[in-house]
Amino acid sequence: MTWINGQFQASLPVSDRGLAYGDGIFETIACINQTLHLWSRHWQRLQQGTKQLSLALPEQQTLLNWIEQALAEKNNPPLAVVKIIITRGSGGRGYRSPDQPQPRTIITVHPWPEHNADDYQQGISVMVCQTCQAPQPALAGIKHLNRLEQVLAAQELSANNCREGLMLECLPVDNNKSAKKTVIEGISSNLFFVTRGRLLTPKITYSGVNGTIRSELLEQAQALDIPLATGRYELQDVLNADEVFFTNSIFGILPVSKIIYQYGQKSRHYQQRDVSMRLAKRLNPELQRPCQFNSL
């Protein structure tokens, strides 16, 4: 069952602009022993998302009360995933928003996905997806509901038995053969890699999501004195790296053992885990995820 604006409801009106145009945002939050993990970062991103889309955001306390209600109805599971969707509410036909939109906040509680211990100990296999992310600065960073690029990329995964996909930025329209392949993120996670002890992650300027764990790590790395940079990086930089890992709000830090590229024809194996593990030790236990990675 579902909570919509604090009311217990099974379904939503077909006139909702979230359905019609993906006119809204969402958050996926780990709830550990009734605590919303990194709530302030999720709240910050909700604020940023509603601002970029000129969407009204409920009061923080109201939202927290609604989440509490939704969790209570599930008997407060010790581990759960809370998903929040905020749409612009109902509208008529046409892209133009109603003059007085009545946003809808939809809260659902999902089972906690158990992890595969091998994924953490050995690292996961990742493929470079052909589906690219189109650079759209007006939507970069926020977790909006226009996710067909991710849906198409996820379709590629199924065929290749990979746990995650690495997404590149779409090549420029007037592409000459020398155009560089810029990396952005995973399908549902952020990308980090380590080169000569330096932690690197793509800047989220033209596409990609400002992940909550990503933001947290950028801070943790400073606290651990791990040298850090964000920028525009090429696929080749990642292939040349010593360590690679992905992050998201549910699985934490997940090391990569292999990247498959060039349409499945080539692969690169990663054996080091030193920096990844130092960071994972800070963060993964909070999400009840392993932080002992095997260096191969």
Q: Residues interacting with its own copies, by CB under 8 A?
A: 2, 4, 9-23, 26, 28, 53-54, 81, 83, 85, 87-88, 92-97, 106, 108, 110, 131-132, 134-139, 144-155, 157-158, 169-170, 172-174, 182, 187-188, 206-207, 232
Q: Which is nearer to its own copies, 72 or 151 (CB)?
A: 151
Distance in Å, CB of 271 to its own copies, minimum: 29
Distance in Å, CB of 169 to its own copies, minimum: 7
User: In angstroms, rounded to a whole number, what is the distance separating the alpha carbons of residues 170 and 7?
Assistant: 41
User: In angstroms, rounded to a whole number, what is the distance separating the alpha carbons of residues 41 and 106?
Assistant: 19
Distance in Å, CB of 19 to its own copies, minimum: 5
| CB contact set of 106 (below 8 Å; sequence gap of 6+) | 2, 3, 4, 12, 84, 85, 86, 87
Question: First and final CA of the chain: distance in angstroms?
Answer: 45
Q: Which is nearer to its own copies, 94 or 177 (CB)?
A: 94
Q: Which is nearer to its own copies, 73 or 242 (CB)?
A: 73
Distance in Å, CB of 239 to its own copies, minimum: 21
Distance in Å, CB of 58 to its own copies, minimum: 17
Q: Which is nearer to its own copies, 90 or 276 (CB)?
A: 90
Q: Which is nearer to its own copies, 20 or 64 (CB)?
A: 20
Distance in Å, CB of 243 to its own copies, minimum: 25
User: In angstroms, rounded to a whole number, what is the distance separating the alpha carbons of residues 252 and 250?
Assistant: 6
- Count of alpha carbons within 13 angstroms of residue 141, beta-carbon side: 18
Q: Which is nearer to its own copies, 145 or 279 (CB)?
A: 145
User: In angstroms, rounded to a whole number, what is the distance separating the alpha carbons of residues 173 and 270?
Assistant: 33
| CB contact set of 94 (below 8 Å; sequence gap of 6+) | none
Q: Which is nearer to its own copies, 124 or 153 (CB)?
A: 153
Distance in Å, CB of 242 to its own copies, minimum: 27
Per the listing, tokens 């099974």 go with 10
User: In angstroms, rounded to a whole number, what is the distance separating the alpha carbons of residues 93 and 15?
Assistant: 9
Per the listing, tokens 């509208």 go with 91
Q: Are strands 190-195 and 243-248 parallel, antiparallel or unpaired?
A: antiparallel
Distance in Å, CB of 221 to its own copies, minimum: 26
User: In angstroms, rounded to a whole number, what is the distance separating the alpha carbons of residues 272 and 240?
Assistant: 12
| CB contact set of 189 (below 8 Å; sequence gap of 6+) | 164, 211, 246, 247, 248, 251, 254
Do 66 and 8 touch, CB atoms closer than 8 A?
no
Helix/strand/coil for 87: strand
Q: Which is nearer to its own copies, 188 or 276 (CB)?
A: 188
